[in-house]
A and B are shown apart, each in its own frame.
Chain A
Amino acid sequence: MGHGEYQKHEAKIFTPSFIVLLVLTLIGFCLVALRFIKGIGAVSNMSDGYPWGIWITYDVATGTAIACGGYAMAILVYIRNRMHYHPMIRSAILTSMFGYGLAGFSVMVDVGRPWNAYNFFIPSQWQANSAMFEVALCVMAYTTVLAIEFLPAILTTLENTKWEMAQAIIAWLSPRIAPDKEALQHKLDFVRAGATWLKPRLDKVLIFIIVLGITLPTMHQSSLGSLLLIASTKLHPLWHTGFLPLLFLINCMYIGYSIAILESVISCYAFKRPFETKELSGLARIIPWLTVIWLSVVIGDLAWRGQLAKALSFDFYSRFFLLEFCLIAAGSFLLFSSRRRESIRWLFVSAALIVVGGALYRFNVYLIGFNPGKGWRYFPALAELMITVGIVAFEILGYQVIVKILPVLPRLHTRQQIDAAAETAQKA
């Protein structure tokens, strides 16, 4: 569908930022190797009191929320029927794919006995009472769905590419190592024909995959909240509530839209493309409604459980609660003004406030508000942090490279039409 909407970003791949990110990635992966050789304790400060550290809190619980851009955009485009946002969806799906893929990777680094993970596929071992079981299966399924959703970008490229690199390699190989140049050519043609065959068929069923890609995050993002339901004696009452699943679900939606704004602003700035102001202000209009619902549930729930006084007591927990609350409230307040929604600067600031506030909420639930009892303390070790940094660096690195080799970003010459469409939407 609409493959003409996207284009490759024509630029050099090996930039200075590429080198920096590559170095960070390599450091992170070396530390991962160390973790597998010497055990988790060698690189992290996690303990029996704080069995989940920064890897679960950031890479999994927060990282997947930040990777919800694809989920939020898919709801907007396919369910709320805003087809004029369609050109933005491919880059959102790409970042989601990296976010979820690497969240899965960090889980494999974090768990102590990853070789037993095959038990998730053995029905007799299934444990439907466990929110973790639900999260694990859904995240695995969703990562696959994201890969399928992204497949059209790869197929289009396979179909249309001139195989310059491959041709060069064949030419170089041909006389000595691989004398049969024709056979290799034939294989390339076969791949191309395969892509051409698959693409229209995939297009036909793609909508059902896309909808699966909306159902699965709805399930596992709420379950990420359910994970902490059982820790009723350890999680501070400011955050421990039966509404955790609902709060996590709404939280991932507004983070999703906000991160879509941030990603677009940053990538337009970095790749020196015109800002997508029209589309972004349309996205921004949705966010404050979600956050207002979320903030009302939070306050209503605290009042109902009689915890409002604790929230305003200004102790350690109350401060973090208020900080999270104010960041989200401030960001949403800014977005209520239509004038500010037209300004890239304000859009950036408010989206950033909401992403930071929303992420802090997840940190509060998983780490800051978690108190296993007297004598336990946790702050991530340097090596532990560097593994997370390495994973994030790899994520950005992959995005940078892929937008330069596959058609992901919105095509520029159709911008006029998109703007016109958005304008009519606004008027009506």
Chain B
Amino acid sequence: MKKTNRRQFLKVAAAGAAILTTGKASASEAHRKVNNNTLSMLYDATKCVGCKACMAACKRVNGDYGSLAYEQASFDRDGLWDAPQDLSGSTRTLIKLFKESERDWSYVKYSCMHCQKPSCVSVCPVAAMTRDPETGIVDYNKNTCIGCRYCQVACAFNIPKFQWDRAIPQIVKCDLCKNTNLRQKGITACAEVCPAGAIMFGKRGDLLAEAQKRLAENPGKYLNHIYGEKEVGGANHLYLASMQFNKLGLPVLKDEAPAEFSEKIQHTIYKGFVAPVALYGTLCWIAVKNMRTHGPDEKDHHNDTDKQGGA
């Protein structure tokens, strides 16, 4: 009786394992190496004039679809300006000024980096964060999101933002105007309106070549580093600047994607779901044997392997 039971349980467990592994394989195959044909943006901080036209355009274009709102400054009683202090549940992109001295200063634009191996996609338990392997766009689907905010914990750039003040909140982040400007005009709103040519939109490979050309043609003007080229396994939002990137709020990061590290460990433990099934099977065998040798009702008890050691 008990033997057949055990066999049935193992069968069920094995079936479950099969389902899990197939899902896993398809999820992890997608990202292996950097795809330079994906959509990308190059922000050149030395060209930016800080007019914030990109911020205004982003909010105008994506306001309804992306659930964005105008943010009021404390001094602005009449609500005349949109004055976000940082990326937030109402703001997808932002221009900031970093001023070290009267002579050394730089603007910087924040928005999603669209990583090649995004942490947010790796951690989302319900696949609400996705990366399109064709376009490279890291997109968010509020209709599956459960609002656990693991993406915020995982993102090294602190990009995904949550709507803390709303009863029906969602995550807010740049999606390269996937459903708005990109669909209608083939370009992101911020790149379209930039009057200074600070934001270039195109294929990642082309933009990398352009950035390298600028570095080569203007020695001394730029810091000799394309931020986003190698960071966390490569990002699709690339930066050129004259100041150190960590001063501009872009953290110093390793070339390995954090998601590679965590997935490696998670996959080692759960490879083929073998370990959990084996654990369950072994434990069942031990427990059933224990129950046979002396039923739980008998109070007499003998010592077989009493080695004080851990459980």
Residues of A at the B interface (CB closer than 8 Å) are 1-2, 36-42, 44, 46-49, 51-52, 72, 75-76, 78-84, 86, 107, 110-114, 116-117, 119-120, 123-134, 136, 204-205, 207-208, 210-212, 214-215, 218-219, 222-223, 226-234, 242, 245, 250, 253, 285-286, 289-290, 293, 372-373, 414, 417-418, 420-421, 424-425, 428
Which of B165, B280, B299, B311 makes the CB contact (< 8 A) with A72?
B311
State whether A80 touches B28 (Cβ < 8 A): no
State whether B150 touches A112 (Cβ < 8 A): no
**Chain A residues with CB under 8 A of B169:** 39-40, 112-113
Return 21 A-B CB contacts under 8 Å, by A number.
A44-B164, A48-B86, A48-B87, A48-B89, A79-B283, A111-B146, A112-B145, A114-B146, A129-B259, A130-B122, A205-B5, A210-B287, A226-B266, A228-B153, A230-B258, A231-B258, A250-B310, A286-B310, A290-B310, A421-B299, A425-B306
Expressed in whole angstroms, the minimum distance between the Cβ of B187 and any Cβ of chain A is 28
Q: Does B196 contact A (CB under 8 A)?
A: no
Given A78-B290, A83-B298, A230-B259; A127-B127 close (CB under 8 Å): yes
Q: Does B34 contact A (CB under 8 A)?
A: no
Expressed in whole angstroms, the minimum distance between the Cβ of A68 and any Cβ of chain B is 11
**Chain A residues with CB under 8 A of B148:** 107, 110-112, 132
Kindly report which residue of chain A lies nearest to residue B294, judged by CB atoms. Answer: A83
**Chain B residues with CB under 8 A of A424:** 301
State whether A229 touches B262 (Cβ < 8 A): yes
Q: Does B279 contact A (CB under 8 A)?
A: yes
Closest 6 CB pairs of A and B: A112-B147, A41-B164, A51-B149, A133-B125, A229-B262, A113-B147
State whether A42 touches B125 (Cβ < 8 A): no
Given A112-B170, A113-B147; A289-B310 close (CB under 8 Å): yes
**Chain A residues with CB under 8 A of B170:** 112-113
User: A288 to B310, alpha carbons, bound, how many Å?
Assistant: 9
State whether B311 touches A286 (Cβ < 8 A): yes
State whether A245 touches B269 (Cβ < 8 A): yes
Kindly report which residue of chain A lies nearest to residue B28, judged by CB atoms. Answer: A129
State whether A120 touches B125 (Cβ < 8 A): yes
State whether A230 touches B262 (Cβ < 8 A): yes
Expressed in whole angstroms, the minimum distance between the Cβ of B274 and any Cβ of chain A is 13
- Taken residue by residue from 272 to 289, chain B's Cβ proximity to chain A (1 for < 8 Å, 0 otherwise) reads as 000010011001101110
Given A40-B169, A134-B270, A417-B299; A253-B24 close (CB under 8 Å): no
State whether B308 touches A2 (Cβ < 8 A): no
Q: Does B185 contact A (CB under 8 A)?
A: no
State whether A211 touches B280 (Cβ < 8 A): yes
Kindly report which residue of chain B lies nearest to residue A71, judged by CB atoms. Answer: B311
User: A125 to B130, alpha carbons, bound, how many Å?
Assistant: 11
Expressed in whole angstroms, the minimum distance between the Cβ of B193 and any Cβ of chain A is 26
Residues of B at the A interface (CB closer than 8 Å) are 1-2, 5-6, 9, 19-20, 23-24, 27-28, 86-89, 119, 122-128, 142-150, 152-154, 156, 158, 160-170, 251, 253-254, 258-259, 261-263, 265-267, 269-270, 276, 279-280, 283-284, 286-288, 290-291, 293-304, 306, 308-311
**Chain A residues with CB under 8 A of B143:** 116
State whether B126 touches A120 (Cβ < 8 A): yes
Q: Count chain A CB atoms within 10 A of each CB in B167, B276, B280, B310 and give the residue with the most.
A: B310
Kindly report which residue of chain A lies nearest to residue B86, judged by CB atoms. Answer: A48
State whether B126 touches A127 (Cβ < 8 A): yes
Kindly report which residue of chain B lies nearest to residue A124, judged by CB atoms. Answer: B127
Given A114-B147, A126-B127; A84-B279 close (CB under 8 Å): no
User: A401 to B150, alpha carbons, bound, how many Å?
Assistant: 36
User: A134 to B27, alpha carbons, bound, how many Å?
Assistant: 15
State whether A113 touches B142 (Cβ < 8 A): yes
User: A84 to B296, alpha carbons, bound, how many Å?
Assistant: 9
Kindly report which residue of chain B lies nearest to residue A292, judged by CB atoms. Answer: B310
State whether B1 touches A133 (Cβ < 8 A): no
State whether A372 touches B5 (Cβ < 8 A): no
Expressed in whole angstroms, the minimum distance between the Cβ of B291 and any Cβ of chain A is 6
Which of A37, A205, A289 makes the CB contact (< 8 A) with B167?
A37
State whether A119 touches B259 (Cβ < 8 A): no
Expressed in whole angstroms, the minimum distance between the Cβ of B93 and any Cβ of chain A is 15
**Chain B residues with CB under 8 A of A293:** 310
Give me 5 other A-B pairs in contact (C-beta within 8 A), A133-B126, A207-B2 excluded.
Answer: A39-B164, A83-B290, A226-B269, A230-B258, A425-B303
User: A48 to B153, alpha carbons, bound, how many Å?
Assistant: 9
Kindly report which residue of chain A lies nearest to residue B280, judged by CB atoms. Answer: A215
State whether A211 touches B297 (Cβ < 8 A): no
State whether A79 touches B290 (Cβ < 8 A): yes
Which of B167, B287, B301 makes the CB contact (< 8 A) with A421?
B301
